[in-house]
Chains A and B, each alone.
Chain A
Amino acid sequence: MLISCPLCGPRDATEFRYVDERRQRPDPEQASPQQWRDYLYVRANPSGPARELWLHRSGCRQYLFVDRHTLTNEVQTAALARTEGTR
């Protein structure tokens, strides 16, 4: 599997670390236990297109928002988390 890092170019997936699904951290002051623990534990785990967070660990060390198909492992896009417009 290849991921095209916006900074480093196409690299083998072994250079990256899968971190988590891309998700919104609830406001820690407002979140109910249910909401917070959904955030901690419950995952969409889609069979198909997925929106994920990866780290180019053995490369530029940038966190990337990766859109990937979990049946084919085909990566559609990879964007720098740091500069991605709105979340």
Chain B
Amino acid sequence: MATASHQRQRSRRRPGARFSAFGLLRQGLTRADWPRVWRHRDLAGSYDAVIVGGGVHGLATAYYLAKNHGMHNIAVLEKSYLGSGGSGRNTAIIRSNYLTPEGVRFYDRSVRLYEELACDLNFNVMFSQRGHLTLAHNDSSLRTMRWRAEVNSLEGVDSRVIDATEVARLVPQLDMSEHAHHPILGGLYHPPGGIIRHDAVVWGYARAADALGVHLHQGTELTGIDVVDGAVRGVQTNRGTISTPVVVNCTAGWASVIADMAGVGLPITTFPLQAAVTEPVRPFLDTVVVSGSLHVYVSQTARGELVFGAAVDPFPSYSMRGSLQFTESVAGHVLELMPALSQLRMLRQWAGLCDMTPDFSPVMGITPVDGFYVDVGWGTYGFKAAPVAGETMAELIATGKTPDMIAGFDLARFADGRLVGERGAAAVGH
């Protein structure tokens, strides 16, 4: 009900703001401008909560705080433009076929939220559930896939081990010859998985949060956190200071830098992750194809570009310049899978920063500093988790109680030696 009344408010406040086919028609005829997706705001002297990082996690957290918990006096600080971090650089794979029951439940909730997100945000995020296929090149990966499929099906997630014939039917371009160095023995097929327009998710959350009164501050960099007697009192930014009892660290690759400002150490190392696209060709690949052994994955966007990704770079860095070696190895591996594609041309490569944890699982929740929360450790797989992470973080911040769904992802698990067992499934899958 809260939702409905907010939406009413929104449409009353901003006539013509709702997106729809009819709206497009009217706008086309009248040539009137659409209202702004979000507004520029002055920095207030105090907020009930300050969220650091204008990526999908920060924005989703802000949105659910406002929408589900009625907290409107909150700010999102973004040092650059919205979505300039991993959220605007990822390869947008969404899936829930993880390995541990807690992982599967968590990501499944996220997929379900994604399925409704376009309607919820009134912004088409173009979630294309085209299916996600992980290839098995040897017995041990088949075994891990069977393990994943079993855990998934126990949690009600559609994912199954398929044989080589079915793989060939789904993706005819694959080289199925038996004497390939990496023969394809089968795969893990996950029909609800797919890809999404990452920018649209970022913008959709931002627009909806703005409509609920959240202040979005672009070009605003957090430079310090004031901690007094073990509790957060405020923050410093390049645009001034803010007093606040709550700071939420949603800065992914920069998580350690922000946590350091609060004196909190994290089990995180920042590695660049690279990706690349080819020039567009006519649609021919309508499944996301992943090969763990070859450390590569491929999908084709609605624009016709093939998107390639791989594992993180071999050493930590905050540099996003990218390497030649990445393009060479990703091209080599793609051609091992689909040899006919050698004439396609790589158009652009880029890199983003990934906050890797030792157990390929996020770090969410409270920290030893009162009022300092973390929603980090999203590594190479965090885009898909944004809705559920935002929803649960908002619940934690608003109610003070850690939702069961994220209890196992707490920071204290490292000191307690309770790591999550996701290593097997998260390594290249994204």
Contacts and interface: CB of A to CB of B under 8 A. Distances in A.
Interface string B306-347: 000000001111110100010000000000000000000000
A1 to B, nearest CB: 8
Nearest to B255: A45
Contact of A34 (B267, B325, B358, B415): B415
B269 A43 contact: yes
B256 interface: yes
Interface in A8-47: 13-14, 17-18, 21, 33-34, 37-38, 40-47
Contacts of B315: 13, 18, 54
Contact of B314 (A18, A44, A70, A72): A18
B171 interface: no
B266 A33 contact: no
A38 B266 CA distance: 9
Contact of B319 (A37, A46, A50, A70): A70
Contacts of A77: none
Interface residues of A, number: 23
Given A38-B265, A45-B269, A70 B316 contact: yes
Secondary structure class of chain B's binding surface, majority of residues: loop
B254 A47 contact: yes
B414 A45 contact: no
B257 A47 contact: yes
A70 B415 contact: no
A37 B316 contact: no
Given A34-B415, A37-B417, A44 B316 contact: no
A21 B256 CA distance: 14
Contacts of B374: none
Contacts of B257: 47
Interface residues of B, number: 22
Interface string B402-422: 000000000000111100000
B268 interface: yes
A47 B318 contact: yes
Nearest to A54: B315
A44 B265 CA distance: 7
Contacts of B270: 45, 47, 70
Nearest to B264: A42
B160 to A, nearest CB: 35
Contacts of A76: none
B415 A17 contact: no
Interface in B256-292: 256-257, 265-270
Which of B254, B269, B317 neighbours the largest number of chain A CB atoms within 10 Å of its CB? B317
Contacts of B266: 42-43, 45
Contacts of B265: 38, 42-44
A72 B417 contact: no
Contacts of A18: 314-316
A40 B270 CA distance: 16
Which of A43, A44, A72 neighbours the largest number of chain B CB atoms within 10 Å of its CB? A43
B256 A43 contact: yes
B415 to A, nearest CB: 5
B414 A73 contact: no
Interface in A34-87: 34, 37-38, 40-47, 50, 54, 70-73
Contact of A41 (B267, B314, B325): B267
Given A14-B325, A33-B415, A37-B417, A45 B317 contact: no
Contacts of B314: 13, 17-18
A32 to B, nearest CB: 10
Contacts of B414: 37, 40-42
B92 to A, nearest CB: 26
Nearest to B313: A18
A70 B317 contact: yes
Contacts of A13: 314-315
B102 to A, nearest CB: 19
A64 B358 CA distance: 23
B357 to A, nearest CB: 8
A36 B325 CA distance: 36
A71 B318 contact: yes
Given A33-B417, A43-B268, A45-B270, A73 B316 contact: no
Given A14-B325, A70-B316, A70-B319, A41 B269 contact: no
Given A38-B265, A40-B358, A46-B256, 7 more contacts: A41-B267, A42-B265, A42-B267, A42-B414, A45-B269, A47-B256, A50-B316
6 contacts: A43-B267, A45-B270, A47-B257, A47-B270, A71-B317, A73-B319
